[in-house]
Every structure is written in structure tokens, then in C-alpha cells.
Structure 1
Amino acid sequence: MQQHTRRQELKAKRRYSSASVRRKRSSPSNGCLQGIQAPIQREEEVKVSIMEVVKEFKTFMVPMALENFIATCRLLLYFVFLRTTIKCTTATPDDFDRNSRDWSGSKYCSDRCEVASEAQLLMGISEGIEQVAQFLMLPFLGVLSDAFGRRLTLTITEIGLTASTALLAVAAMQRTGPLIAILVFSSAAVRGFTNSFTVSTNAAVADLFQETKTRGHVYGVLQVYVLSIDGLATVIITASVISQNRYNYDDVFWALSGLAFLNAVVIPLTIDETIGSREPVTCARALPSSMIRVLRNNPSVAWIALTVFFFIFAVNVLTIAQAFVISAYGWTQTIAIIVLIAVGTVGFCAAMFAPKMIDFWGPRDVFRWSMVGANVGFCIMVFSSFSPVFFIIGVVPVALAIVAIPAYRALMTEQVADGDMGLTLGAVGSVSLAAQGVSAPVYAAIFKAVGSGGDCGGSGIQEMVWAPWGLAAMSMIAGNITLNYWMKTYPPPSTTPGRAEGVGNVEFDLHPIVSPNARQSGPTGNTDVSLDIDSRESSKIPRNTAHTVTTAIGSSPMPSPLPLGSPMQACTAPTPDARHLNAKVVV
């Protein structure tokens, strides 16, 4: 009980993004309502330290660590495992040196280039299946998260991860044959239909930290934590498993499946629920079509989602990086992983500075310049087939662009009301998954068709080996164009002080929140706007009194009586831009 009370106090303390409301007592004569004007007192920005983030998010730390450890190990093992299953006409001799650059990775096929391209194609298709499945299911999981809490969807994620990794273990036991593809694709589908870990944890952050820059800071801190776990998992799995150049990985997948099962048990027992108000589960909100409605009703979110689509589509070209460097440069899988570890270290260092960068420049500028840097990197990587120097130089700014992730999340969460957080994050997450689901098989198919250059060029079209990297560069250019349009069309929200009239003095700074379910029809249309009044303050407003919100662009009656703890609504106010309001509350 004390822990719950403390959490509620901390949450209430940070409710300063939607509206900061303070009431002073007055003594109206004869009990009459009097309109009293007073100067606005702006609240100072609450600085959140790393220790405060850890303290507030402590029950999530171990489950996050286990989830990311398992997911990273799966990702690193995926390609090397699939290589072992490829079969062709010429088998690899039993006494072949597996530390040689010519080792194919499969005992059933000695052709290094064929093994790399076939394994990458299989990996691309399975990743496409996983992302499409997640695309279809994430809106429903987002609604479940808003209705029943973050803990439920996190548990579902880990149960799915347990089953998915177990299917990979069974596939590894088959060694080779057509059954492997069926098991691998089934594993991907199970993982996709149940995975909402990132969306649920992002929504939990939004539950606890409500100011945009603070959220960006928190997302940055958690990004560093996640990358630390990813780095640890990479070192452990590379040193203990990948460096052995094995032909079987079933025991490793069984161990990872056991860890996922342990996490599924730990989450419901340890994680504190963060959600406050709960939204009902409805078919309209749970269907994949809800994503279209969410984006249609909030154009600002839609443009961010489109930018994220192009960004993810471009970055997903790195899914072929491991196969590319092995086939193009003749690197062993151990050397390839070591190089990728070095690249990951660059990203980790950038992520460490992400909270400070967001605090100093704001999430908008951090997101914009990260996109520009990644664009430059992909343009350089177009020449990767000529020399590994181009690959290494180009991948560095792409790795540095990891700071765009917490910045984008901070921008996203400022666009929606708390009650729709899970739904909206699920919708935008579905857009990013659509990008991954489309791009993974596309890049894999292009890689198989054109090769990587060197000994593994394509059949007669080797001059097109730059195609995957060129496609990524063009996608990033499109992302920068949409981002610039969004920034010009939707400038940063400005807070215009209003004046309050009523019982005593109600002083507030207004940040309107546009609900994803609001009605908004073009630049001259109508917008539903919520004024989020802290429940402790709204309880002091007489319940049987009519309320009116008057803005610079119109007025609308409020619900009467006002439910205790409920946000005040100003519905369908005609406005060209719902972010710039001059308001007063008449009680």
C-alpha cells in the first residue's frame, strides 16, 4: 500500500505537461461566485535524474534485461543457425577448417555464397512474417494494454517468446530439410502475434512521466540501459557460441526458451502497474483498421508515423549486413560479429548522450539531425561493394542516429491524450512494423539477386550490387522530406496563459491534447480538445455547476456536473491549429 501511495504521489507530482493547475482560497462575500483575476504562476520544469528514473522504473528493469538479452541472442544466432540448414549438391568435408574464410557455415553445402544468400532469403521471409503478424495484432494488444494494464501485455509477450524460441529449438534439431522452413516461419508468426514489449514499456513511461522533454530524457536513459544489455548479450553469445563455428544450436535455443519462461513468471509477480484511467475494449479500437482511424484523426501523428516508416525501412537494410560482409569481404562469422559489436559500441556511446542532447536541443532537433546523419551514412554505404572502408565509414553515422529513437518517442507521446496512449503507440508501432515487414524480404530478395560483389556477385547483374544500400538512401531522403514538412506544418506547442473565473482562483497553463478519436477535418475543420485538470483540483470545483471553456476561437459548454477527476472537454471548437489557445474556465 505504501509503495502504491508513493507511486501515485510521484505520478501526481509530474502531471505538468497537460495542465499545471493551482488553486488559492478566497473568501467570496455571501457565498456568491466571484470572478477574480490573478497573475499566472508558471511551474518550473521538473528535472528527472537517472537515479529517479531507475527508482520509478525499478520493477521493469529485470524483465527488460531478460527480454532484450533473449531477443539479442536470437537475432545474432538467427542467421548463423539458418546457414547450418542450407543444403546443396556439394557437402562440406568433415575435416574442413571452420575457422577459414571459405567455410560456408553449413555441413550440407560448401558454397559460401549460396549458403549466405539462401540463409538471408529465409531470414528475410521469416522476419517479414513476424513483422506483418505484429502489424496485425499490435492495435489489439495496445487496446488490451489501455484496458487491463501494461503488465498483462508484457506477460503475453514473454509467453509468446517462450513458445517462439522453443519452435526454433525444434527446428535446429531437424538439422536440414523442408520442415525447418515451416518451423522457422511458425516461430516468427508466434513471436509477431504476441510481441508488444516495446509499446507497453513506452506506454508505461508515458504513464509516469508526462512532460515531453522529461519523457525524451527517460527514453534516452532506458535506451542506454537496453543497449548495455544488448552489448552484454552480444559479447556472451559471441564468445560462448558463435566463435565455436558450430553446426547445431538446439541446446542454445532451449536455454533461451527457458529464460523467456522465467521472465513470463517474473513479470506478473514483480512489475507495478502504471496505468491510471482504463479504456474499455471495443472492436472498433482493437481491429487493425483502428490504426487508419487514429492516423486519419490526428494528422500530426500521421506525418510522424510516415517519417518513422521511411526511417525504419532504410535502417532495416542492416538486416543483410552480416550476410553482406561475410560474402563480400570473406569475413568469418566471428569477425563479422566483432565488427558489428564495434558499430554497436558507437551507437551505445551516442545513446548515453541522448538524454542530455534532448534536454539541450529538444526532441525535434535531435530527431531531425539524426535523420540527416543517417541519410549521409547510407549514401556512403552505396559504395560498400568496392571496399569495407565505405561500409565502416557509412555505418558510423547510421549507428549515431540511434538517438532518434528516444527523441521520436518523446515527440509521439506529446501528441495524444493519456487514455489513448497505448492505442496510438500501437498504431504508430504498427506502421514501423509494416516498414520492417516489407523491407526485410525486399532487401533479402535484392541481395540474393544482385549479390554482394567480390566472389559473390549476382548472375550477370553484378553492377547492381549497390541496390540495397541505394534503396535505403532513397528511403531516408523521403523520410527527411516528410519530417521537414511535419516540422513546418506543426510547430512546437506554445503555452498561452489564460485567466480563470470562479470559486477562488484557478490558475493554469494550457496544453491542449488532441485525442486520436477526435474529429478533425483539414486546416479549417473542427478539433476535439481536452483540458487535463488534475483530479485533486477538479474535486474542488462544485459538481452541480455548469462549466464553459472560452477560447480565442470559440466556446463550448462543459459537461455538468463535472465528474470528479475527469478531464474537462471543449468539443468541436473550430480552429486552424489546436495547439495555440487563449482560454479561460468559467465555473
Structure 2
Amino acid sequence: MRLHVVFLLATVTLNAMGIGLILPVIPDLIRDVTGQPLSQAALIGGVLSTVFATMQFLFAPFMGRLSDAYGRRPVLLGTLAIMVLDYAVLALANTLWMLVVARMIGGFASSTQSTASAAIADLSEPGHRARGFGLISAAFGLGFVLGPVLGGLLAELGTRAPFWAAGGLCGAGVLLGLMSFPETHAAANRRPVTWRGSNPFGAFRALNRLPGLTRSLIVYFLYNVAFGTYPAIWSFFAQAQFAWSPAMVGLSLGIFGISFAVVQGGLMGLILRALGERGTAAMGLAVSAVGFAALGVVSNGTLVLFFAPIAALGATYAPAQQALLSQRLGPDEQGALQGVLTSTVAVAMMVAPALMSQVFAHFTAPERINPLPGAPFLLAMLLVLAACVLFVWPRRAPVVA
């Protein structure tokens, strides 16, 4: 594999690691900085996660347009350098506002998957781009697995150790890019940045051109809010319910990530052939509801790890639903559909941390006699059950004049 492709994949992996790296240590980091109990730390964690997701939502289209105007190389190298600064701020933070600023910087700087994908498209022949995009997705998945595991293991050396290590990796990525990554976007093909192209809400304008999708998008949104409970609450839940260390939290998140990769990469085709797309989507919703219900009441830390395959099977809903929606539209509307779906997920990832952290804080407050750390997962179960009802409810047949 050529060195500049390795740089692209490493950049995507590092960005994905940044999302998961903080998860095992975020409860201890917040309590270390603020001195608040776990329930209040969860509220602050929800704010930080929402800030991060909001910055990604706002700036992902802008990053793509910026690379169209000024080239892929300065955007990728610049954002990696910014990530070095971000991790340094997290490692040194001793006030809440420093954590908020760091998460804002991280959300902005990690919005470069679209730029890496554009660089892969620049380097590939039109008929051979699918393999490159597949490598980008695989690199993102690898980072999402490695981030929590690395964060949990390094946390044994101290709450701030994962951030120093991540900053060093990003610094090494900058050096690799300076030595090996050429500009892939020809000057003749560049175009200026425009507000219309950089507007993150632009995808929702496509709803006017995609009639009849409202119910499906509501189901998709409810599912993704429920699914967002995992990254939003898992670290706090694991501490409150099982008294797990950051290393164990990271290991558990790694097991979940590997389970998702096995299902999405190996079993998805078999399930689709057996149940079809609609059956697979329905199964994903039903299994998700069962998994959330179990997590809401489980008290055995070892047993909870066996729910990872159940959670992974629940994740089959999203790709099956995407396939169902794509079949209802012509080839000229596929891009608009993907834009709407991506924006729907982004908004759900902004809502989930704020909502679920409030629920967790309420049900684990120090004054509660019988705390219920699994309450966010029970709420997630209710959201998925509502999505199930909407998904299977018969559609009104069109009136024929």
C-alpha cells in the first residue's frame, strides 16, 4: 500500500480514536476537574458530548468545501495539528470551560472524514473508488474499536495519560503527512467556498423532493437517539452499576465494537438473504428493544458482556432501512437521500447525550434510596418500541381517482 494512502487511513483512524478515547476516562476526568458526584458528572459529560457532536454536524460540510477550495493536504495536515493542541488542552485542563473548549476544538478538527474520502476519490480511477471508500470505512471502524481500549488501558497510568498518547500519535501523523502526502486535488478543479455548499442544514431541504419518507425518517431518528445511549452513558453506567475501572470500560467498549464489525462485515449478508431487507430491519428493532431492556435491569458485570452480540444484531436495522429507502427513490435522488440520513443521524447524536445524561443524573442522584443506573437504557427501549410500532403500522393506501 502506498505511503500517502497509509497517511489517509491513519488520519481517519486517529479521528475515530479521538471519539472513543475519552469515553473510558470521562467520568474520572470530569470529577477530577469539577469535584462533582457521578450523577452530576454525567450531566456535564452529556453537555460535552453534545458540544462535540454539534461541532461535527456544523463543520463537516464546511471541511469538505474547504478542501475543494484550498486542497486536501492543508486541511488534513492542519486538522491533525489542531488535534495535537486539543489533546494537550484535555491533558492540562483544570476547569470546566477548558473541557468545553477542548471538545469544541475536537469536534471541529475531527470533521475530516469527507476530506479523506475526497482524497481517496482523487487518487482512484472512477471505476475503482469503492475499494478506497471501503478502506476509509474500515479505518474509521478500527479507530472506533481501538480508541476506547487504548483509553482504558492508558488510564491505568493516570487520567490524563490517554490524551498525551493521542497527541503524540497525531503529531506523528503530521510528520508522516509532511513527508509522504502530496496534494491530490488539482488547482484547475478547485472552487471557492460558498454558504450554500457549507450549510449543514441544506440536506433537510431535500425532504421537499423526497415525498412519503416522513414516517421512515422518524423511525430512523428514534432508533439513532436510542442507539446513542451507548456512547453517551456507558462509562457512567458501568461505574455506577458495576464499579468498573476505566480499563474494564474500555475493554467492554472494544468488545462491543468488534461485535458490530463481525455482524456488519460477516453476518449482514446472511441475515439479509434469510429475512430480506424489511425483515432484517424489523428484527434489528426488536432485538434492540430486548437488548436495551436487559441492560436496564442487569446487575452482573460479567453477564452484560454477553449482550454485545445482541446489541450488534440490533445494529442491522440501519443498513437495512437505508436499502429500503433507496429502493423507493430513483438514481437521481440517492445523493439527497444519503444527505438527509446523515444529517438525521447527526441530529440524533446531538439529542442523545443531552437527554440520556439528564435521565441518568435523575435516577442516580445521591439522595435516591434506590438508584437505577440503567434508566437511560429503559428509555431507549421505549423509543425503539415506538419506532417498531411506526415501522410495522400499515401504510395508508393511495386514493385512486
Tell me which interval the TM-score lies in, with the shorter structure as reference length: 0.7 to 0.9
Q: Equivalent residue for 1:81?
A: 29
Give 3-state SS (helix, strand or coil) of 2:258's partner: helix
Higher mean displacement: 299-308 or 285-294: 299-308
Task: Decide whether aligned partners of structure 1 residues 210 and 478 sit closer, same or farther in structure 2, where only a CA change above 3 A counts.
Answer: farther
Matches within 5 A, 1:156-195: 157-171=79-93, 174=94, 180-195=95-110
Task: Kindly indicate whether the alpha-carbon contact (under 8 Å) linking 2:71 and 2:184 is maintained by their aligned counterparts in 1.
Answer: yes
Deviation at 1:469, TM superposition (A): 1.4
Q: How many residue pairs end up in the alignment?
A: 392
The 2-side partners of 1:458 and 1:337 are apart by 26
Q: Equivalent residue for 2:382?
A: 474
Task: Kindly indicate whether the alpha-carbon contact (under 8 Å) linking 2:241 and 2:373 is maintained by their aligned counterparts in 1.
Answer: no
Task: Decide whether aligned partners of structure 1 residues 73 and 335 sit closer, same or farther in structure 2, where only a CA change above 3 A counts.
Answer: closer
Task: Kindly indicate whether the alpha-carbon contact (under 8 Å) linking 2:237 and 2:373 is maintained by their aligned counterparts in 1.
Answer: no
> Structure 1 unaligned runs (5+)?
1-50, 89-113, 175-179, 452-456, 490-522, 525-575, 577-587
The 1-side partners of 2:5 and 2:333 are apart by 20
Larger strand fraction of residues: 1
Q: Equivalent residue for 1:379?
A: 293
Q: Equivalent residue for 2:284?
A: 370
The alignment status of 1:286 with 2:198, answered yes or no, reads yes
Larger helix fraction of residues: 2
Deviation at 1:150, TM superposition (A): 6.2
Q: Equivalent residue for 2:363?
A: 450
Q: Equivalent residue for 1:136?
A: 58
The alignment status of 1:399 with 2:307, answered yes or no, reads no
The alignment status of 1:434 with 2:347, answered yes or no, reads yes
The alignment status of 1:315 with 2:263, answered yes or no, reads no
The 2-side partners of 1:295 and 1:218 are apart by 30
The 2-side partners of 1:149 and 1:197 are apart by 13
Deviation at 1:474, TM superposition (A): 2.0
**Which one-letter code corresponds to 1:192 in the other structure?**
G
Task: Kindly indicate whether the alpha-carbon contact (under 8 Å) linking 1:383 and 1:466 is maintained by their aligned counterparts in 2.
Answer: yes
Q: Equivalent residue for 2:14?
A: 66
Deviation at 1:55, TM superposition (A): 12
Deviation at 1:442, TM superposition (A): 1.9
Deviation at 1:374, TM superposition (A): 1.8
Residue-by-residue CA offset, 1:376-430 (whole Å, 9 max, x unaligned): 211222323x554774454431133445566667778886879995x87565433
Task: Kindly indicate whether the alpha-carbon contact (under 8 Å) linking 1:374 and 1:398 is maintained by their aligned counterparts in 2.
Answer: yes
The 1-side partners of 2:47 and 2:88 are apart by 19
Structure of higher RCO (CA pairs closer than 8 Å, 6+ residues apart) = 2
Task: Decide whether aligned partners of structure 1 residues 57 and 427 sit closer, same or farther in structure 2, where only a CA change above 3 A counts.
Answer: farther
Higher mean displacement: 296-305 or 468-477: 296-305
**Which one-letter code corresponds to 1:430 in the other structure?**
S
Residue-by-residue CA offset, 1:215-241 (whole Å, 9 max, x unaligned): 6x98777655544444445444433x2
Matches within 5 A, 1:563-578: none
> Structure 2 unaligned runs (5+)?
none
- Choose which of 169, 173, 178 in structure 2 pairs with 1:263: 173
Deviation at 1:138, TM superposition (A): 3.3
Structure showing greater radius of gyration is 1
The 1-side partners of 2:374 and 2:25 are apart by 26
The 1-side partners of 2:325 and 2:190 are apart by 20
The 1-side partners of 2:319 and 2:6 are apart by 19
Q: What is the TM-score of this pair, normalised by structure 2?
A: 0.75
Q: Equivalent residue for 2:42?
A: 120
The 1-side partners of 2:79 and 2:377 are apart by 33
The 1-side partners of 2:82 and 2:135 are apart by 27
Deviation at 1:447, TM superposition (A): 1.2
Q: Equivalent residue for 2:248?
A: 335
**Which one-letter code corresponds to 2:293 in the other structure?**
C
Q: Equivalent residue for 1:15?
A: none
Deviation at 1:440, TM superposition (A): 0.5
Deviation at 1:161, TM superposition (A): 2.6
**Which one-letter code corresponds to 1:474 in the other structure?**
L
Q: What is the TM-score of this pair, normalised by structure 1?
A: 0.54
Task: Decide whether aligned partners of structure 1 residues 186 and 488 sit closer, same or farther in structure 2, where only a CA change above 3 A counts.
Answer: same
Let me know the Cα RMSD of the aligned residues.
Answer: 4.6
Task: Decide whether aligned partners of structure 1 residues 416 and 428 sit closer, same or farther in structure 2, where only a CA change above 3 A counts.
Answer: farther
Task: Decide whether aligned partners of structure 1 residues 325 and 302 sit closer, same or farther in structure 2, where only a CA change above 3 A counts.
Answer: same
**Which one-letter code corresponds to 1:450 in the other structure?**
F
